[in-house]
């Protein structure tokens, strides 16, 4: 029986090596993170879009304006341009702030 032990261990090691190589070289299981996909302004979970200005600079100004007024806001790239997003409970207040008191640009 000891003459079967060496080939059995060799075949077992070869099988483990084959499974390890199959896992290492398979596609779709990369350990490196992919570049995030830019989605529509409605694809950001619970956050609600309140403004979609034409440039990132204007969007950041709007976001900062909301933050200084106590509204938690974030800026996200979207397929329809940069978008200012807020939580649903703050959406009505944020829209009112942006409508009635727009940020001023300093020259």
Give 35-75 pLDDT, tens digit per residue.
777 888 788 889 999 999 999 999 999 999 999 999 999 99
SS3 content of the chain, % helix, strand, coil (to 5): 45, 10, 45
Q: Is the pTM of this model over 0.85?
A: no
CA distances from 64 to 49, 61, 88 (A): 15, 5, 18
Within the chain, strands assigned E span 48-51, 73-76, 83-86
What are phi and psi for residue 53, nearest 5 degrees?
Answer: -75, 165
**Domain for residue 78, yes or no?**
yes
Number of domains in the chain: 1
Could you tell me if residue 6 is inside a domain? no
Task: With a cut of 60, say whether residue 107 has pLDDT above it.
Answer: no
pLDDT at residue 38, rounded to an integer = 82
Q: What is the pLDDT of residues 13-29, one digit of tens each?
A: 999 999 888 877 777 66
Q: Which pLDDT value is given to residue 34?
A: 75
Does some domain include residue 94?
Answer: yes
Report the CATH number that the domain containing residue 88 is assigned in CATH.
Answer: 3.30.70.1530
């Amino acid at each position: 029986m000891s003459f079967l032990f060496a080939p059995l261990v060799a075949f077992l090691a070869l099988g483990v090596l084959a499974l390890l190589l199959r896992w290492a070289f398979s596609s779709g299981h990369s350990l490196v993170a992919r570049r995030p996909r830019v989605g529509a302004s409605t694809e950001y979970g619970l956050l609600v879009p309140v403004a979609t200005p034409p440039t990132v600079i204007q969007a950041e100004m709007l976001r900062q304006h909301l933050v200084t007024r106590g509204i938690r806001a974030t800026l996200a790239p979207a397929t329809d341009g940069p978008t200012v997003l807020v939580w649903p409970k703050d959406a009505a207040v944020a829209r009112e702030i942006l409508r009635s008191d727009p940020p001023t640009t300093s020259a």
